[in-house]
Structure formats: C-alpha cells, structure tokens
Amino acid sequence: MTTRIALIPGDGVGPEVMAEAEPLIDWARSRGHRLETVRLSYGADHYLSTGETLPEEAYADLRDGFDAVIFGAVGDPRIPDGRHAEEILLRLRRGLELTVNFRPCQPLPGLSRQGLHLEVFRENTEGAYCLQGSTEPGRAVDLAVHTEVAVLRLLEVAFARAQARGCALTLAHKANVLKHGHGLWVRVFQSLQAAHPDVPARGMHADALLCALVQDPAPFGVIAADNYLGDLISDLTAAFAGGMGTAPSLSWAPHRPFRCAVLAEPVHGSAPDIAGKGLANPVGMILSTALLFRHLGWESEAETVERAVAAAMRDGARTRDLGGSLSTAGMGAAIRDRLSG
C-alpha cells in the first residue's frame, strides 16, 4: 500500500526547513517504501492572495486521502491576529483528533546535558487552546475545556511509554487552584496508577516541577501535561538539547478516527525575522521526520536518520544558533552525507 504524505511548508522558515526534510522522503523511497507526497501551499501567502486558509474540500481530502502530514511552521506579521495559523494548524490538530503530542528531549553530541532523556506528552486538542472565550470593555475571559476522553487517551499513552522505558512518569498540574479541569487530570491519572503499579508515577504542581527541571532534570523520564502546561514545559526541556531549532515533535490520534492520523512538525515557530536568510536550524524538522518514520513502522530508517544527525553534530556541524557557521541547506547536506545503511 502506498503511503501518502502531505507536505505543508507554511510561513517564514517553514519552507526552508521543509526543503531539508524532502530529500529524506526520497531516500526512504529508494529503500523500498512506496511513498507519494503532495505539496500543499496553505499559509500566509495563500491566505493573503485568496482569502482561503484551509478550504473544507482540501481538509476533507487531507483527512481521508492521506496517511500523514509533515508541517513546517505558520505565523506571519502581515496577519497580526494569526487567524490563518489558527484555522490551519489548530484545525488539523483538533479536526484530526491528534490528541497526543510527543516532544522528546535527548541532547545531541557536543551539546550540554549528555545522557539526559526526557519526553513530554502534551494533550494537543483541548485545555486553554480550545479557542473559547470573550472580550469586553475592561474584561477578558479564556475558557479551558478538558474532557475525560482526551485526558484518558493522552495519559494511557504516557503510562505505556513510561512502562516501556522503565522510567518515572510525572503529571504536571495545578489542581490546587484549577480544581475543575486539573482536578479531572489528577483523577484520571490516579485511576491509571492503579492499573500500572510497576510505573513510578506521581503528580507534581507545575511551578514546582519547572523549578526542579532547571535545578536537575535527570530524575525525570516522562512528563505528561495538558495543552498549555505541556507547551511551556516542552519549550523549557528543548533548551537542554540545544534550543528550539533542534526540538522535534510528533502528534497522533491513538484511536485512528480517520486515515490521516499523524502530523510531524518541528517545535519552533515561523521565525519571520530570519526567514529567507538560510539561518534556520533544520535539525528539528529532520528529527521530526525520523519520528514519523518510526511511527509508520520504519524503525531502520528512523534510526539511520537519527544516527546521521548525531554523527554530523559529533563532527562539528552546526548552524549559527549552535555557534557554527553552516546555513540551513549546509546543515541538511551535512546530515544527508552521513546517511548509511
């Protein structure tokens, strides 16, 4: 069966880092995988010229006619309210029910915190990012919505991962003040603790957890959190592995409601201030592509890409954000030169 992958480069540095992921797809194809890619132009330029974000027909085709999405970044200062970004990326996450957002942190050779292996599992469709609220003179309200279904899906994956790794699982929450929403998270977490007695699991107030991470991240293995806290925590853990430019992520729907059930994207944003200058670090995008390969069952290809990234870093290949001089394309080429197997 042919695997169909939609490529959405998006805005800012998105097209530049996407250009370094596409050769990896060609390489996977050369290793015998039946692959078809379709490049979709949805982003700021398309919106400004047509008024379209992600048309219903295009969304339905993506949902039912593709297996995965590789996404660059969205965000453009020409659209200050970010409406196109909201209607493209957040619609994909919510519409495809991509409940699980996986953000690993494993420092590369030559970077600090060697030996650290942190993984953040972030609920990806609800919480404070549900886009519900109101603004009126002198008052603004943002709603945070949590459902037991989504919380359970995320935490089941987090418990399974901690069990497979043989490491601790920590739930980040603020149930002491967010008694309703985070109270639900704590209740579901505690119910799963009973079903996983061999997983060292605890809940921890998010503010205390952030302090502990800065002081010593080593004791943490897997961290689970809602959409908002997971976003903040995973950006902090990215700093242990070189910063946002090296941070990958993968989102998926564990219950597979549609054919398209997985989306790979780097953690960094569109960075319009450096767009078009060849300064963006493509490592986050390349490692996100490796995560996608593993999710598709292509373990050998995933490991080979990850080894190539590590080898390039070990040999001193760096973009400017890591103190080097390579361009985006130069870093991508350095990694591809080390592909083997």
Provide the pLDDT for residue 340: 77
Side chain identity at 61, as an amino acid letter? D
Choose, from 26, 64, 207, 315, the residue flagged as catalytic.
207
pLDDT per residue rounded down to tens, the chain (341 residues): 899 999 999 999 999 999 999 999 999 999 999 999 999 999 999 999 999 999 999 999 999 999 999 999 999 999 999 899 989 999 999 999 999 999 999 999 988 788 899 999 999 999 999 889 999 999 999 999 999 999 999 999 999 999 999 999 999 999 999 999 999 999 999 999 999 999 999 999 999 999 999 999 999 999 999 999 999 999 999 999 999 999 999 999 999 999 999 999 999 999 999 999 999 999 999 999 999 999 999 999 999 999 999 999 999 999 999 999 999 999 999 999 999 74
Q: Which of 11, 76, 226, 231 is catalytic?
A: 231
What is the distance between the alpha carbons of residues 200 and 79, in angstroms, rounded to a whole number?
A: 46
Query: Taking the CB of residue 113, how many other CB atoms lie within 10 A of it?
Result: 17
Give yes or no: 142 in active site: no
Q: Is residue 231 annotated as part of the catalytic site, yes or no?
A: yes
User: What is the pLDDT at residue 131?
Assistant: 86
User: 207 catalytic, yes or no?
Assistant: yes
Q: What angle do CA 264, 54, 59 make, to 5 degrees?
A: 70
Residue bearing tokens 């997985």: 262
Residue 11 annotated to the active site: no
Residue 129 annotated to the active site: yes
| From 42, 47, 59, 129, the catalytic residue | 129
Helices 14-30 + 299-314 axis angle, to 10: 120
The C-alpha atoms of residue 77 and residue 30 are separated, in whole angstroms, by 39
**The pLDDT value given to residue 261:** 97
What residues does 71 pair with on adjacent strands? 8
